[in-house]
Structure 1
């Protein structure tokens, strides 16, 4: 019985594309250890990734079939979820040799044309194996150079297939429905944690498989940051609540937020919401094939600066470092929508558009700094962009 996320031909196309780039970059093989890359190339899918006791390895050769090296306890998982048929196993955990000799032999069996094997070593990448074992592997294949393969992987994963895009659209629509259901469930006096728990329930009831990232922040005149774990703090009349989620279906993420006002909204906050909402629209419309990520960032920044001036508000950029990013099997992927980033928009990219600004308000005689962040998920096509979730309301929803 097979439970593949995709048709086998899609996995075959991914391997073929990777092998073409490996020839270009003079790599004999790539070692894959991280959950998202593992699933992308092999289909292997299991909640046992939370168990760091047992590593897993995949070797992508420049020519030939993928070699899967996994603990014996994962054999049935591989049979059901992976298209790979060269599966080698060992009894794990075995700290003295937790699959390393099998991995060494697999790499040694690959024809070595260049003497170079890639691994997930560069910025934004992670090895999901003990660092000591990676160093040991390097010693045991000392005639082969271990180099960074992440630029190749990043190039490959930045462009999604139509099937991948539809999986992201599916979770985007699920999360949109969950957000839209919240006003009927929220009330002043409940805790931020209770509000976010209600949201998680809505996500799961509507078809999300997991919600590993749900944050919630609420204060009287907005929120001072966007990445706090939901707390037991009670939501009061006059608060603004922001909830942000990275939820998944078939491993693919959505990533966007929504805001809710409890009681009448302060006029300054209403205008700031409008400024950032409009900047999101500017960013969506600016995302066209041929433009750079830096261009998109600049247009959103200019939009907020000009609108702030028109309202008589000082414009303060929020130091997030970027206003959007790639999206897929990771919640945050390359590229970044940031100043000076010259990565060109291409069809097949899935991006978050995420403008943000900071503002100050006097609260009980004290000047406090808050932020406003809006985020939407889009796919780039040859004809423009497609929104993968439903757009935020033009005006902040009022609770009560």
Structure 2
């Protein structure tokens, strides 16, 4: 059957979790940190392998403690204890949640105190692009319980670790990227005037699920005569008509890893300026592909792409960046920004996402997913069409 893909194995070998934890512990030793605790899904899953749909519920908190040496310790609601049988975690400490008066806070505090007796320094995710998945009052209670300890931010350490993907991680991302690209090909063959944005997105969504995606939690669209001006709100029930330009931007997921790229479609005749804008963002992406390599910075990538857009007459780009990291989250650190100083390294997965305002109220955006290799970069999926595709149906 056309467009059938072989999915990589789910999960990871125990050795991968050991390596991830060991790298974190090395950095903890350098900075004199006795223990780190995590309360958000992605960090919890990254170091433990525990994956549960219970994260969708705000009722119960979940904590993972990583000591200076040895395995992580899970501090979790009793309802989730059995889920650790399939992980590498042996030490699982539970309480009968939900218990609002003390929903795991004292158990977490006791665990942290137990493993942080040397420097009395405890790390948590406290920096940009992070959050603590616990009520502020509970965090304050935790701090009061550990008032002889210092709380420090480890988000920079963790985001650097997570930014370098293993071969197994890349295999999952590559698979879901291939599925997404095939979904766009399917849409190209089945789009027609008269469909709504929502119908177009749903058709693509179902095809990606058929091809092996687990879910597609991010699938947006925008359309308008000869262009669009907002790319974060759709899909809507607006019917596509001759002269319209449609963008669909999607992040499908397989085994906890995302794709994130878009495609543009024109319906019938659109003016020359729209075609020129498409070709400009395509060329801008080419410039990003040419320069993205180990030793280059995120600022270098931004500058290469923006130079093309500026030469093409762009009226601006108010998105704030032109691409970002990709992996367990739809958007990850780092961002491709003007003056960005993050140095690219082999194993990083990034999006290249140039966008331009090419006429008042009209935007053109393009996005691809790449892997930084030892010698440069490679696409993780089929490249976009070089010319703006025209839907004549």
Q: Identify the TM-score tier after normalising by the shorter chain.
A: over 0.9
1:59-98 to structure 2, matched below 5 A, reads 59-80=65-86, 82-98=87-103
- Look up the SS of the partner of 2:226 in the other structure: coil
Whole-angstrom CA distance in 2 between matches of 1:247 and 1:219: 25
1:334-353 to structure 2, matched below 5 A, reads 334-353=333-352
1:170-209 to structure 2, matched below 5 A, reads 170-209=175-214
Contact 1:276 1:355 in 2 (8 A): yes
CA deviations on 1:13-65 (whole Å, 9 max, x unpaired) are 00000000111122111111111111100001011111010010000111122
Match of 1:245 in 2: 250
Whole-angstrom CA distance in 1 between matches of 2:137 and 2:252: 33
Match of 1:320 in 2: 319
TM-score normalized by the length of structure 2: 0.95
Which 4+ runs in 1 deviate beyond 6 A? none
1:94-105 to structure 2, matched below 5 A, reads 94-105=99-110
Which of 13, 31, 37 does residue 31 from structure 1 map onto?
37
Contact 1:240 1:262 in 2 (8 A): yes
**Unaligned stretches of 5+ in structure 1?**
309-313, 361-367
**Unaligned stretches of 5+ in structure 2?**
1-8
Match of 2:18 in 1: 12
In the alignment, structure 1 residue 372 sits paired with structure 2 residue 364: yes
- Look up the SS of the partner of 2:64 in the other structure: strand
Shift of 1:264: 2.3
CA deviations on 1:257-279 (whole Å, 9 max, x unpaired) are 00111112321111110011011
Contact 2:10 2:255 in 1 (8 A): no
TM-score normalized by the length of structure 1: 0.94
Number of paired residues?
384
Contact 2:35 2:116 in 1 (8 A): no
Question: Please, which moves more after superposition, 331-340 or 261-270?
Answer: 261-270
Match of 1:358 in 2: 357
In the alignment, structure 1 residue 42 sits paired with structure 2 residue 34: no
Whole-angstrom CA distance in 2 between matches of 1:87 and 1:229: 42
Whole-angstrom CA distance in 2 between matches of 1:115 and 1:253: 37
CA deviations on 1:145-190 (whole Å, 9 max, x unpaired) are 1111101111111111111111110110010000110022211111
- Look up the SS of the partner of 1:317 in the other structure: coil
Contact 2:116 2:122 in 1 (8 A): no
Shift of 1:76: 2.2
In the alignment, structure 1 residue 163 sits paired with structure 2 residue 168: yes
Whole-angstrom CA distance in 2 between matches of 1:359 and 1:315: 5
Shift of 1:396: 1.6
Contact 1:4 1:83 in 2 (8 A): no
